[in-house]
Amino acid sequence: MDFDFTRLPPQDRYRLLTNFVGPRPIALVTTRSQAGHANAAPMSFFNVFSQDPAIVILGIQKRGDGNEKDTLVNIRRTQEFCVNMVDMEIADAMILCGINFAPDVDEPSFAGLATAPCRQIDATYLERTPCAMECRVERIIDFPNRAIILGEVVEMTVRDDCLDPQGRYVNPDVYQPIARLHADSYIVADRQFELLKPEGAAALEAAQLTPPKESGK
Ligand SMILES: Cc1cc2nc3c(=O)[nH]c(=O)nc-3n(C[C@H](O)[C@H](O)[C@H](O)COP(=O)(O)O)c2cc1C
């Protein structure tokens, strides 16, 4: 089967793209509403793209009625947001936060998620998230129906049991994020494996990087 994306209606593009580009990690994005309470919404058009600067990207679609989602309204106003990674412990609460509530609903409280103040931005993070990333907006790219938000991570707060004692590598028995597959299907990273370069790969790479010797003529 072949699909000409230049002719395909957006909803078909969405279905095909999200069915095949997955699993997609889920950012449970917390922001501060204009009235001062916490807002939370899951976003799976999300990933990290750079460490210098540390950039994460969100894609936020307008609602069916053409209005912007509360998360985007809050991000535009405050220029700040927090990405909370999601594991099985908070998966059910994450789905509740995805309900299209009115702007004055505090989704973390509704979903039973305890929050704590962020350190560098004026928002709250979810206490039981494995990892919270406080972000400041680097830029927003606007399309007619979608905004793509580049956020610079300024602080990361990690649940202690998710990391080794040196704070370097995740503990894979504990940190098992969930990710979105297609439609309402999700996957949990509980079957991890290592894939090592074959023996001799380093020598092969080094040989190719060595400039050829001068002929001496
Ligand atoms: C797992 C999951 C992933 C989602 N990913 C996105 C996304 O990437 N972009 C988007 O605009 N909406 C996404 N949604 C829908 C929003 O979470 C939903 O519209 C929510 O009500 C927005 O809340 P807000 O108005 O408080 O921002 C997702 C929903 C779920 C359950």
Domain CATH number, residue 71: 2.30.110.10
Q: How far apart are CA 23 and CA 189, in angstroms?
A: 10
Question: Does residue 118 lie within any of the structural domains?
Answer: yes
pLDDT of residue 208: 81
pLDDT band at 209 (very low <50, low <70, confident <90, very high): confident
Q: How far apart are CA 23 and CA 115, in angstroms?
A: 27
Q: Which residue type is seen at 1? A: M
pTM of this structure: 0.94
Range of the domain at 44: 10-192
Residues 6+ apart with CB under 8 A from 17: none
Would you say residue 210 has pLDDT above 80?
Answer: no
Over residues 120-132, mean pLDDT: 98
| Interval between CA 50 and ligand 1 midpoint (Å) | 23
pLDDT of residue 27: 98
| Interval between CA 171 and ligand 1 midpoint (Å) | 28
User: How does pLDDT run across 134-190, given as a tens digit for each residue?
Assistant: 999 999 999 999 999 999 999 999 999 999 999 999 999 999 999 999 999 999 999
Structure token pair of residue 200: 């001799």
pLDDT band at 109 (very low <50, low <70, confident <90, very high): very high
Question: Does residue 61 lie within any of the structural domains?
Answer: yes
Question: Does residue 29 lie within any of the structural domains?
Answer: yes
To test the pocket of ligand 1, the residue of 34, 43, 46 to mutate (highest count of ligand atoms within 8 Å of its CB) is 43
pLDDT band at 202 (very low <50, low <70, confident <90, very high): confident
